Amino acid sequence: MFRIMNISRLRIKIDGEGVRTLIITEGCSLRCRYCFNKDTWDGIKHGRKMTASQLYDEISLDRPYFMATRGGVTFGGGEPLLYADQINEFRTLCRNEFSVFAETSLYVSKPAVLTAASCIDHFIVDIKSADPAVYKAYTGGELAVAIDNLKLLISEIGSEKIEVRVPIIPGMTTDVDQQSSVSILKKLGITRFDLFTYSC
Ligand code: SF4
C-alpha cells in the first residue's frame, strides 16, 4: 500500500522529460536541515493510503499527455524507494505506456534499490554532498549508505540513467566543496549532474 501525500499533475519538464505527474510519497529516514517537504516525515498523518491499482487508475487521466510528450510519472517524497515493491506493482500495471522516474536519496535498503532498478527508467539521486561529515551534519545519516547504494544502482543499470544532484548548501558548502563532491562522484562513473544552490 502506498502512502501518498500529494499528486501534482501536468508538470512540464520539471521532474523529467515531457508532461509528468509527481507523486509525493510519505516517510523518509533522513532529516535534512532544509528539507522542503517536512510534512512527509510524519507518515500517514497527512496523506492517504492507495494501492498500486488505485494510483494507476487516478493518474491514467493524463495518459494521453504522457504518451504525446514522452512524459510519465515521477515518484518523489519523502523517500519513494520505501515503496519500491509498490512501484514495481505500478510498473507492471502501466507496462511501457509511459516512463517512470524517481527522485531519491537512496537512503534505503539494498533490496529496495534492486527492486527499483528493475522497474524505474530514470533516477534523480539527491546525494547532497560526498563529504561524510557534511552529509552527517546536513541529513543526520551516514554517507556510506547512500554511496554503497549508488554503486549498486550503477552496477545494475549503468550510469546513463542516473542524474545526481549536488547542491551548494548555504552555511555548509561552497562551490569548491560542490566541485569536490562532483570529482568524487565522477570517479564512481557518474556523468550527469544537477548543480544548483539551495534557497533557504
Ligand atoms: S531526503 Fe528529501 S524528504 Fe528526506 S529529509 Fe532529505 S530533503 Fe527531506
| pLDDT at residue 178 is higher than 70 | yes
CB 77 less than 6 A from any atom of ligand 1: yes
Instruction: Return the best residue to mutate from 105, 125, 129, 135 for the ligand 1 pocket (most ligand atoms within 8 A of CB).
Output: 105
Ligand 1 atom closest to the Cα of residue 31 is 5
Question: Which residues are within 8 A (CB) of 44 and not within 5 positions of it... i.e. 6 or more apart?
Answer: 3, 26
| pLDDT at residue 13 is higher than 80 | no
Ligand 1 atom closest to the Cα of residue 34 is 7
The CATH classification number of 2-197 equals 3.20.20.70
Distance 64 CA to ligand 1 centre (A): 31
- Residue bearing cell 530514470: 122
Q: What is the pLDDT of residues 32-76, one digit of tens each?
A: 999 988 888 876 566 799 999 999 999 999 999 999 999 999 999
| Nearest by Cα to 52 from 98, 2, 100, 3 | 2
Q: Domain-by-domain residue ranges, the chain?
A: 2-197
- What are the cell numbers at 29? 529516514
CB 27 less than 6 A from any atom of ligand 1: no
CB 37 less than 6 A from any atom of ligand 1: yes
CB 51 less than 6 A from any atom of ligand 1: no
| Nearest by Cα to 116 from 143, 89, 144 | 89
| pLDDT at residue 200 is higher than 90 | no
Residue 191 per-residue DSSP state: -
- The pLDDT of residue 41 is 83
Q: What is the pLDDT of residues 100-151, one digit of tens each?
A: 999 999 999 999 999 999 999 999 999 999 999 999 999 999 999 999 999 9
- What are the cell numbers at 175? 562551490
